[in-house]
Structure 1
Amino acid sequence: MGTATWGPGASSSIKLFLFMAPLVLVAGLVSVFGPNPSSWLFTAKPSALLFSSVTSSTGSTGAVTTPSEVKQREGLVVVAVDNRAGENVISDDTHFNLSSTPPFSVQAIQTPQQHNRDEETVPQNLGNLSSVNESYVAAERPKLQRKFSILDRTEAGLVKARAAIREARNGNQTQDADYVPIGPMYMNAKAFHRSFLEMEKQLKVYVYEEGEAPVFHNGPCKSIYSMEGNFIHGIEMNEKFRTRDPEKAHVFFLPFSVAMLVQFVYVRDSHDFGPIKKTVTDYVNVIAGRYPYWNRSLGADHFYIACHDWGPETSRSVPNLQDNSIRVLCNANTSEGFKPSKDVSLPEINLQSGSINGLIGGPSASKRPLLAFFAGGLHGPIRPILLEHWENKQEDMQVHRYLPKGVSYYEMLRKSRFCLCPSGYEVASPRVVEAIYTGCVPVLISDHYVPPFSDVLNWKSFSVEVSVEDIPKLKDILLSISPTQYIRMQRRVVQVRRHFEVHSPPKRFDVFHMILHSVWLRRLNFKVHHHHQSQLS
C-alpha cells in the first residue's frame, strides 16, 4: 500500500479552507445578531393630488397671509380635492337636473403628515399619518411610540368618517329612531344617513367671540334674510356642535351678518361698498392676529353665512375669504363665482313672523285644481319674460304681477300642483321653500342656479327645472308630466320638507342640521396639517 502524500494541490486546499472558515463563522454570527431587514424603511412615492395644494405660514400672531407671502414661506398645507374628478360618495351615479352641477363627493387624500404643538400620544392604529425618510434603524435602538397632535387626531377621525360613508353606500340601511332617509329624493340615502351620523358624532364648530352686535353675533330672523339670524343664533346656542376649545374644532365660524352690515355699515344710496369691505377686512385681520387658525389654512376651514344679495360681494373684501373659505350663500350662482365643490347653497326662507307656524301643510295631489301659480313683481330679467307669455292668459295657469285683493297667497300655493319659482335679480327665490312648505311641486326657472343641499337631495325627483328659453313652452312641459309621476313628485316634496323646516331649538335633519351637514361634507374634502414646532419658530 502506497503512502499518501500532500502535494502542491493539497497545500492550496488547506490555505483556502483556513481563509474561508473565519468568513463563514462571521457571516453566521451576523445573521443571528445583526440588524433586522425590516428595519430598513423607504419613503413611498406620494400619489398625485387631484387638486392644487395651498401652502401657508403658521403662527400664533400676525395679520392675514397673502398669496405672495405663501410662496416664500413654509407652513401649513391644505389639500383640497375636486369632487368632479373623484369618486362620488354621497351620491349614486345619478345627476340631478338641467342646470345643476354633479353631486359633491368625499375623496380620500394622502399627504405627508407632520406634527403640531401641544402633542398628545395616541395609539399607532390611527394609521400612518406621518411620512419617514429613507433610513436605517439599528436593532438595539428602542422603538419610540409615535406622538400625534390634536389636529392629527382630528384628521384621523375624518379619514375614518370618509371610509364609513363609502362603506355605507352599498351596505345595510342604518336604523334611526327619529328618521331614516330613504327613497329617490336622495342621491344616496344610505351614504347621506351615515354621513349625518358621523357629523353628529364628530363635528365641532368654533365660533369666534370677537365682534359686537348688531353686525356680529346677530342677524335678522323675521325677513327674507331670516336664515342669517336663525343660523347665527342657532350655532351660538348649540351645545352639541359648538366647542369653546378652538384646538378641537373642525371648522371656524365667522359670525357676521351681511344683512346687518348693509343696514348699519353701508351708507344708503352711496353706492360705496368701501365701509363694508373695511369692516370685514378688519375683522379677519383681528382673528388672524389673535389666533393661528386663519393663517394656518388660509381660511379654508372657515365659513360664513349670507342670504343677502351682497353675500358674494362681501367675500371679495378678503381674497382668501372668497377663494378658500366655505361660503354659505343663498345667491348660489355659478356664473358669479359660486363653486359647488367649496361653497354651500343656502335656502332662502321668508319668515315674516319669525316661525313656520301656519306655513306648513297643504292638500293631497288630487285636491289641487290649478296647474300652476305665480305672483310677483318685475324683479330681474326672467320675470318679465314669464309675465309676457303667461300673465292672465289661461285659467289653469294663474300668473300674476299682483294678486287680486282678498286672495291669499298661501291659499293659492295650496290650490296649485306646480308653483313657479323664477329668479329675481339673484338666482335664489323664497318661493322654492314656500312651495315645499305647502306641498306644491316647485318649478325652478333660472340659469346657473345650484339648488340647496344638492349634494344630498335629488332635485329632479321632486321638482321641475325649466330654462329661461323654454318659458314659452312652460305649459306643455308641465302637462307632459303624467298624473302618476306628478303624484310621486308631490309625495316626495312632502317627504323632503323636513330638511327645510326652521325650528328653535333645531331638530335633527332640519334646515339648521342640513346647513351644518353641507359644511361638514366640504370639510371632509380637504386636509390640514402643521409643520413641526421647530420649523414654526
Structure 2
Amino acid sequence: MAEHLQSRQMASFMAPCAPLLLLTLSLCFYGVIQAKPLSDLTSPYLSPATFPASYQKMLKTFKIFAYIPEKLQPFGTAVESLFHDSLLKSSFITTNAEDAHLFYLPFPHDSSRNYRGIVRLIRNLRTDFPFWNRTLGADHFYVSCSGIGMNSDRNIVELKKNSVQISCFPTAEGRFIPHKDVSFPHLNDQHLHAPPGNGTAKYLGYLNLNGSGDQNGKLESTFSNELRGDPQFLVESEASDPALYAERLSSSKFCLFFYGGDVSGIGDALQFGCVPVVITERPILDLPFMDVLRWSEIAVFVGAGGGVEGMKKQLGRTCEGDRYERMKNLAMVAGQHFVWNSSPQPYDAFHTVMYQLWLRRHTIRYARWESI
C-alpha cells in the first residue's frame, strides 16, 4: 500500500513544474506511468476500488486516544479549533489507550514558536505514559497550521521527525515532511449556492487577487497585469459578495491560484466545477488529501517559467477532446471532501483528514497489521 501511494504521489509531485514532454519522460524514467483501468478515468480517487470499503472500515474500527491538558489555550485558527472539537466529540475517541491506533497531542496556541511548552508536554508524556517511549512518537499526531520547524531539543527532534503533523495548505517551506505529514484545506464559505443558468462558461479563467500575500507579489503582478487585458480572463482585486462570487466560479472554466499565496478558494472552485489552476515556481508536496485524490485529474499545475502564454497553451491542451469535461466532473466529486461542517458529515473534510490518519496507522504498529 505504501509503495502504491508513493508511486502515485510521485506523479502528482512532478506534474506542476515540467513541460509536457519532459514530464512524460521523467515519469517514465521513475516508472510511475501505468496503464489505468477504465474505472480510474471516471474516479478522482487514487484507489477507487478500495477507498469505499477502507473508509467504512475506518468509521467502524479507528480509535484515537487524546491527551487532554488541564488547561488548553485556544487554537490560532478557526479550522484548527473545528478539527479539534470535531475529533473530541467523534466516535473515534477512546478512553482505553491500549485500544488506540494513534495518539492525539493538542498543542497550545502558536505552537510553531512555543517550543518550551511543547518540550514540557512531551517530557511529561515520557514520565506519565508509556506510549511515547515505545515508538518515539511515531504513532502520535498533532495539529499546527503554521507547522513546526526544527530545533535541537531531543523532544522537538522526535516530534518533527516521527509524529504526524496536520497543517494548513500551503505549509511554510521546510515545515512539511511529505511521506509523513498531511495538510487540510481552509474553511469553505458555506453560504455559496450555485446560481441558476445553463452553466455555460463566460471566461476561460478567473483570478481573484483579494487577500493574496506578499510571497508571490512579483509573480502575481506579472500574471495579473497580462491577464487584465485579455477578454478570456476575469481578474478581480476586491472581495465579492457570496452570490457574485458563486456566479464568478460557475461562469469560469478555470480558477487561478498562486501556490504560496491565498489558496483558500480551491475547495470552492472544485465544488463549482471551476477546475483549479495552480501556478507554482517549485514542486508541490503538501496538497490536501494527496493519499486520497488523484490531483492530476482534478486540477492543472502550471510552472511559472512559461508565463501567461505558457499557461494559456496548457489550458488549451486541457480543453481538447473530452478532457476538460471529465476534469470538471471529477473536480465536483472531489469537492465534497473540502467541505467543513460544524457537525461532521460523511466524506467531508474532517472525515477525509481522519482517513489520511487511518492510512498512517501502520507506520509503527506492525503487531496490529490489518488489510487496508
Q: Same fold (TM over 0.5)?
A: yes
Match of 1:243 among 73, 94, 101: 94
Q: Is the Cα contact below 8 Å between 2:205 and 2:233 reproduced in 1?
A: yes
Counterpart check, 1:256 vs 2:90: no
Distance 1:470 1:365 in 2: 34
| 1:243 CA displacement | 0.3
SS in 1 for 2:141: strand
Which amino acid letter does the alignment assign opposite residue 525 of structure 1? T
Partner of 2:206: 373
- TM-score w.r.t. length of structure 2: 0.79
Distance 1:316 1:482, change over 3 A: farther
SS in 2 for 1:526: coil
Which amino acid letter does the alignment assign opposite residue 451 of structure 1? L
Q: Is the Cα contact below 8 Å between 2:206 and 2:252 reproduced in 1?
A: yes
Partner of 1:232: 84
Q: Which moved more, 1:474-483 or 1:317-326?
A: 474-483
Distance 2:296 2:118 in 1: 38
Match of 1:183 among 42, 49, 52: 42
Distance 1:436 1:93, change over 3 A: closer
| 1:186 CA displacement | 1.1
Distance 1:236 1:386, change over 3 A: same
Counterpart check, 1:213 vs 2:72: yes
Partner of 1:433: 267
- 1:62-101 superposed matches below 5 A: 83=2, 86=3, 88=4, 95-96=11-12, 98-99=14-15
Distance 1:379 1:365, change over 3 A: farther
Match of 1:421 among 257, 281, 287: 257
Distance 2:230 2:255 in 1: 15
Distance 1:381 1:422, change over 3 A: same
Q: Is the Cα contact below 8 Å between 2:256 and 2:278 reproduced in 1?
A: yes
SS in 1 for 2:353: helix
Distance 2:116 2:142 in 1: 17
- 1:21-60 superposed matches below 5 A: none
| 1:487 CA displacement | 1.6
Distance 1:93 1:316 in 2: 31
SS in 1 for 2:166: strand
Q: Is the Cα contact below 8 Å between 1:316 and 1:322 reproduced in 2?
A: no
Q: Is the Cα contact below 8 Å between 1:432 and 1:444 reproduced in 2?
A: no
Distance 1:193 1:332 in 2: 27
Q: Is the Cα contact below 8 Å between 1:329 and 1:346 reproduced in 2?
A: yes
SS in 2 for 1:452: coil
Distance 1:89 1:214, change over 3 A: closer
Which amino acid letter does the alignment assign opposite residue 417 of structure 1? K
Distance 1:529 1:501 in 2: 35
Distance 2:306 2:121 in 1: 45
Q: What are the superposed Cα offsets for residues 461-518 of structure 1, whole Å, 9 maximum, x if unpaired?
A: 1110112213332222212222632222111111112111112321121111110111
Partner of 2:184: 346
SS in 2 for 1:367: coil
| 1:301 CA displacement | 0.5
Q: Is the Cα contact below 8 Å between 2:14 and 2:283 reproduced in 1?
A: no
Counterpart check, 1:327 vs 2:165: yes
Partner of 1:487: 325
Counterpart check, 1:293 vs 2:131: yes
SS in 1 for 2:53: helix
Distance 1:387 1:482 in 2: 26
Match of 1:478 among 308, 315, 321: 315
Instruction: Show structure 2 runs of 5+ residues with no match.
Output: 17-35
Distance 1:529 1:194, change over 3 A: closer
Q: Which has the larger radius of gyration?
A: 1
Which amino acid letter does the alignment assign opposite residue 299 of structure 2? S
Q: Is the Cα contact below 8 Å between 2:185 and 2:288 reproduced in 1?
A: yes
Distance 1:520 1:96 in 2: 21
Partner of 1:119: none
Counterpart check, 1:522 vs 2:360: yes
Partner of 1:444: 278
Partner of 1:40: none
Distance 2:170 2:366 in 1: 26
Q: Give me the CA root mean square deviation.
A: 3.4
| 1:434 CA displacement | 2.4
Partner of 2:290: 454
Partner of 2:26: none
Q: What are the superposed Cα offsets for residues 364-414 of structure 1, whole Å, 9 maximum, x if unpaired?
A: 884221111112255244342232233322122123444699994443223
Distance 1:457 1:324, change over 3 A: same
Distance 1:422 1:521, change over 3 A: same
Distance 1:458 1:495, change over 3 A: same
Higher normalized helix content (fraction of residues): 2
Distance 1:91 1:505, change over 3 A: farther
Match of 1:385 among 195, 219, 229: 219
Q: What are the superposed Cα offsets for residues 243-296 of structure 1, whole Å, 9 maximum, x if unpaired?
A: 011111110011225xx337xxx9xxxxxx4xx111121122222221111112
Match of 1:464 among 300, 308, 315: 300
Distance 2:230 2:196 in 1: 23
Task: Give percent identity, aligned residues only.
Answer: 26
| 1:340 CA displacement | 2.1
Distance 1:365 1:451, change over 3 A: farther
| 1:89 CA displacement | 6.3
SS in 1 for 2:255: strand
Distance 1:378 1:329, change over 3 A: closer
Distance 2:257 2:276 in 1: 7
Counterpart check, 1:196 vs 2:34: no
Which amino acid letter does the alignment assign opposite residue 479 of structure 1? G
